[in-house]
Chain A
Amino acid sequence: MEELLREFVGESLDMIEVVAGDLVAWEADPHDKQRLDAIFRTVHTIKGSSSFFDLPRVTALAHAAEELLDALRSGHLAADGAVVASVLAGFDGIRQIIGSLAQHGVEPAGEDGGLIARLADTLHQRAIAAPQPVSTSESAEAPRASEQSVVPPEWRSVRVPLTLLDEVMSGVSDLVLARNEFAGQLRGQGFEPESIAAFTRLSGFLSGVRASVSLMRMSPLNQLFSPLPRLVRQLADELGKQVRLVTDGGEVEIDREVMESLRDPIVHALRNAIDHGIEPEEVRRAAGKPLQAVLRISGRQVGNRIKIAIEDDGAGLAEARLMEKAIASGHLTAERAAKLSSAQIAALVFLPGLSTAKAVSDISGRGVGMDVVKANIERLGGGVRVDNRPGRGVTLTIDVPMTLTIISALAVPIAGQEFAIPRSAIAEVLLSSNESVECLQSGGVALARVRGNLLPRCVLENHLGLPVEMVEERSIVLCRLANGRTLALDVPDVRDQEELVIKPLPPLLRQCGTYNGFSLPDNGQPMLVIDVDGIASHIVAAADGGLFEDVQQTDDSIASQDEDRWLCFVPLGIATQAALPMHAVQRIVDVPVGAISRAGSGFVATIDGELLRIVGPAVALPDAGALRMVRITHGGMSMLLAVAEVTSLARLDVQLSDSHDARVLGVAMHDATVIEMWDVATLFPEIADQRTIWIVDGDAGGWAQQVVQPALERAGYRVRHAATRAAVTDTGTPILCINGDDGHARLNDGDGHGLMQFIHELPQLLATGAA
């Protein structure tokens, strides 16, 4: 609030100054109705803001002045010197109060009856004698005395239009260009050392000025956060909820323009959280949560991006309802819905017109918004994601560039010109000779295999329609896309480039979907900024079948990330194909036979000094050469799986489930081949044994299956079912009894709080040994 108040003080003092001047100018030319309108609007603004900050004296004075101005506007009052003088006196009064507010931080006590009466008298009597001394008010006399020093120095600031800053910025760029030209001449003509030294100093100052100009656009996030506590309090009161707002990271600086465009999305997210996320008190009490909900908003800087997280401890998103709505509105088919992961379900809130609110409320309306919020943030070159913790709350993470105008970028030289790739989009740059990269072509699509992950690859010259540069070694730039995927951009070379001042593209250039800005670097040669997401969408449109059928799903709100993709392979010594979820696959490695040794009943391999267990091979080891292995990871552990070959990366749908083999989740068909979908956890005996829980429940398909099992699985446990205690086939595994007491833990039907408690205590139960 302090930040805002400070802004109000600065702005109002300026405004009063301006309208006072305008009023005098208008007096000279009373036919200038527009000017009078402008004065009226300004005073109205001051009145509005002052009432927002609860400054009754300012509000009252502004109101009186506004009424008089309105009468002038409507022609009910003829302008004369006396009228203008009273309005000016009113302005002086306002200025005096605000000046004192600036000094002391609070509106000074006092009474402006005299001034207000004078304004009102002017209005009613249409004329009044020369300014009367106002006896009761301290403010009437003070202006003259303290006019010069109302604002203490540390509060001093100047508001400058962004366009002016941009002008300064481009002026500085001009200077840099001229300096470079000058430097060239200095070198050519062999100047005196003194001239060179003077030039170097000049050059240093110029860099300093350039840095300061860039900083002028930045403001701390606090300016965005400071009005929020009041907003939250007001909303919570209206809805009869108790909410505490915690803000964090307000000191992080961000471009003013970006900050402005974050204001609405954040307010929207907070409204949503308070209205829909945070439960009514009786529900919170029943769930054993503290009655006062905590809403946390935090900002932090990651590289040249700002991440803002809005986290509540409410009920979380109702997954089932979200899916119902998405199906009802035709965004999703029931078959597809059944296969969505939690993260994918949560992402459904970004679909147009979806809201989980049962009742429409005036606070957050009816589901208007999250799609708009997402679109607005993406327009800034940002992204937004939602993490749902059913029963425990929602976190919305907004990720935007720190500034729109200056980015750090790498330059790619092609055909005598340079293109820029924003650093923020780059995950990694690898040389094509690096052994962890393999460039390949499959099904007419360029691909790159990077540490076992197959990625779409784009040869930049091909995309741009330019001849491919002949270089010994190319660079593979791994770009992070807005939808979480990775694109391998294959370029002839990359050069380091400093900060670039980015200018918006004209529509003609924006249209081609390949660039998102241009820039004039120090060498004076225009540079186009590559839009990696734009290029990726071209590639996806061009890809036809093959390995990347999943990439074609451009609807990234539903489109899966790694968890939906499966790596298909033929295990060594086994005839059928198998598949593992991609998120469990770390990379594909060729392990020399020499690094493999027998240990106990199986094999281990030493890779880079790390000892890893090998699943398989089910055949004798060859004498020499290497075995291809898939390195998989689960629950913080890694191991190797020997394979005869890796066949494809695909989205698989379970077509048959298999309950006999614990290792097989299901069977899928892909390219007319039967593929077993393996459960990663079963490959890790340590985990498979430790993290299995039996649920004993006579009521098959009831609460246990619909609620308890998914909750446990989401927490990373394997669940097995038994109708009775006697049907449990193994020992040493925790048993959860529904409505019964013969297990290690008991849950009553429908006891959500108990379920959360159980999941919370499970690690302890597993550690102490259930048996």
Chain B
Amino acid sequence: MDDELYLIARVASQWLALPAVSVEAVVAVRDVVPAPLAPASVRGLVAIRSRLLTLIDTALVAGEQSFGDSAPLMAIVAIDGHGYGLALDEVEDVVALPMTEVPARLGSGWQALASGVADHQDGRALLRLDPADVIAVLNSRALDAAA
């Protein structure tokens, strides 16, 4: 895989690399309006300027401890014409990284989400997280739940 630009971010204790092209912006999470009856991974709705975003509890999707009401940041992404905010704990830089296949079966929910792994200079192994995969996994789970 080519070196692509990635946004380095952390969810729970896991460091991630989000393709920079798919992230429109990273903003602080404020004024979340709940969406009752929505799947647990939907934290609620957020309005950023005149745009409505569905805030996704990224940690919960990956099987980590839920953000609860305390997600500090979110990455704004657009998937199939809908706007989502992916909750993040921390973001670092945008850097070019070489990606390789995931070498082993990953723990908890990351297996279904990660589409590669990058070896960072400082020794961290970053999981490649494509926002579209997060939404696709959620949608298929919601469908299963409905069925």
Contact = CB atoms under 8 A, between A and B. Distances in A.
Do A and B come together as binding partners? yes
Interface of A: 170-171, 173-174, 177, 415, 417, 463-466, 503-509, 511-512, 514-515, 518-520, 524-528
Contacts of B81: 504
A528 B45 contact: yes
B54 interface: yes
Contacts of A520: 47, 50-52
A514 B37 contact: yes
15 contacts: A174-B50, A417-B33, A504-B81, A504-B82, A506-B54, A506-B82, A508-B54, A508-B142, A509-B42, A512-B38, A518-B45, A519-B52, A526-B45, A526-B52, A528-B35
Contacts of B34: 415, 417
B49 A174 contact: yes
A511 B45 contact: no
B68 interface: no
Contacts of A464: 36-37
A506 B42 CA distance: 11
Interface of B: 31, 33-39, 41-42, 45-47, 49-52, 54, 80-82, 84, 135, 138-139, 142-143, 145-146
B84 A506 contact: yes
Contact of B138 (A173, A465, A508, A518): A508
Contacts of A524: 47
A177 B142 contact: no
A515 B45 CA distance: 13
A525 B80 CA distance: 23
B142 A511 contact: yes
State the main secondary structure of chain A at its contact with B: mixed
B120 to A, nearest CB: 32
Contacts of A503: 52
B46 A526 contact: yes
B36 A465 contact: yes
B38 to A, nearest CB: 5
A526 B47 contact: yes
A514 B33 CA distance: 16
A74 B41 CA distance: 54
Contacts of A519: 52
Contacts of B52: 503, 518-520, 526
Contacts of B35: 509, 515, 528
A526 to B, nearest CB: 4
Contacts of B47: 520, 524-526
Contacts of A506: 54, 80, 82, 84, 135
A508 B139 contact: yes
Closest 3 A/B residue pairs (Cβ): A464-B36, A526-B45, A506-B82
Contacts of A509: 35, 38, 42, 54
A619 B141 CA distance: 65
A381 to B, nearest CB: 19
Nearest to B44: A526
Nearest to A466: B36
A47 B108 CA distance: 60
Given A174-B49, A508-B54, A514-B37, 11 more contacts: A466-B36, A505-B82, A506-B54, A506-B135, A508-B39, A508-B135, A508-B138, A511-B145, A511-B146, A518-B52, A524-B47
Contacts of A173: 50
A508 B45 contact: no
A465 B36 CA distance: 7
A177 B36 contact: no
A464 B37 CA distance: 6
Given A171-B50, A465-B36, A507 B142 contact: yes
A506 to B, nearest CB: 4
A508 B50 contact: no
B74 to A, nearest CB: 14
Nearest to B142: A511
Contact of A508 (B33, B36, B38): B38
A146 to B, nearest CB: 43
A465 B37 contact: yes
A514 B36 CA distance: 9
Nearest to B140: A507
Nearest to A534: B37
Contacts of A504: 81-82
Nearest to B81: A504
A437 B143 CA distance: 39
A492 B145 CA distance: 30
A527 B35 CA distance: 9
A511 B143 contact: yes
Q: Which of A463, A465, A505, A526 has the most CB of B within 10 A?
A: A526
Contacts of B80: 506
B143 to A, nearest CB: 7
A515 B49 CA distance: 22
A415 B35 CA distance: 12
Nearest to B46: A526
A134 to B, nearest CB: 50
A421 to B, nearest CB: 15
A509 B146 CA distance: 12
Most chain B C-beta atoms within 10 Å of own C-beta, residue among A171, A466, A507: A507
A508 B37 CA distance: 10
A637 B33 CA distance: 53
A106 to B, nearest CB: 43
Contacts of B33: 417, 525-527
A464 B80 CA distance: 27
Nearest to B56: A508
Nearest to A418: B33
A417 B34 CA distance: 8
Contacts of B37: 463-465, 512, 514
Nearest to A507: B139
A363 to B, nearest CB: 37
A507 B84 CA distance: 12
Contacts of B45: 518, 526, 528
